[in-house]
Amino acid sequence: MTSSSKPLKSITYNEIINENAREGGAMALKGRLTRFRKWATKQAGITAHGAICIVNGEATDGTRNAPILTYEAPKPVPGSEGGGSGGASAPGANAPSEVRCGAIDSQPDRAMYDRSIGCQVRTVRELKKDEVALSIPPSAMLSPALIAASDAGQAVFACCSSSSSEFWDMFSATNKLEKNQAEKIQQNSGTQLLVKILQERKKVETALMKAERIAIEAGEAGNDAKLPKNLVKAGSISYRAPFLAFLIHQRFANEGNPSVASSTRDLPRLRPDVPVGAPGTFAPYARTLPTSICLPICWKRNELALLAGCIPGMPLLQKVAARTMQLSTELMALMDAGFLWRF
């Protein structure tokens, strides 16, 4: 950086996701949907009919006459009074284990999705027979080539131990790895499966906090000798991992428009080319994804207990346990390989 260059303004994820709407919720999502609409047409090369709009309750993408759905006032959710920024819960609130796993952002944001069916594509008028509603070029999609060339994908790649320079040779099929995990627990009872799921969640949380602490301490001391560098054996990480890493980076980076592939990042292997025509960032898309999902893998302890207490629920509980175990294994392996400091 030259002496005449201006330092970049620091901005946090919470400031980005709220879009200058401190209360969050519909007003904040409206700003993100508007930004997403502009990104889609001006950067991603997506052609959308003028009558097409994206809405979620009272939040719209700014399209004129877009339908607005008004819901009743949100009800308080036990255990979530502290919001999504890590604040302390109010007295009498449920323990963190009683809150759905993976919920992010603030209570108004989560309440908005709880009261609606998520973002919907609608029309403000009827389209004629020969009118094209939407045209999306391949370059605007999350393709394997894009993930392999991205900073997030390359960070996962750097954590793998192999002499091969082919990105996808490092990974294995997700269903194959989850099947291996399922074989370990196929004789477990419902209670044992429930305990295993909760143990894996706690183990990941502890490992992530430890990895963050080590990375911060090493950065402050300017000494990388203590940074974890135990590379992951090729084939033990699923194809899903680099995709998740990419979405997490684009969603949670403390940057307005985090780059897909930064030219300044030091890489241990030759980076493949980014697909021609691909946008420089996918953050406007990633930041319109829901704040939580209702899949069983995210269920609370008492919800999972319903599966553990009945015979029809056992196959689903086994699947949740196997998937949780594989995700846990992958995340802890990447932390031990130094994913945080490599990225």
Q: How, if at all, do strands 134-135 and 237-238 pair? A: unpaired
Per residue in 56-68, pLDDT tens?
888 999 999 998 8
Q: What share of the chain is helix, strand, coil (3-state, %, to 5)?
A: 45, 5, 50
Q: Which residues of the chain register pLDDT less than 70?
A: 1-10, 71-99, 225, 264-268
The confidence score (pLDDT) of residue 113 equals 80
Residues 6+ apart with CB under 8 A from 114: 74, 77
The confidence score (pLDDT) of residue 285 equals 95
Contact at 8 Å (CB) between 89 and 81? yes
Contact at 8 Å (CB) between 269 and 157? yes
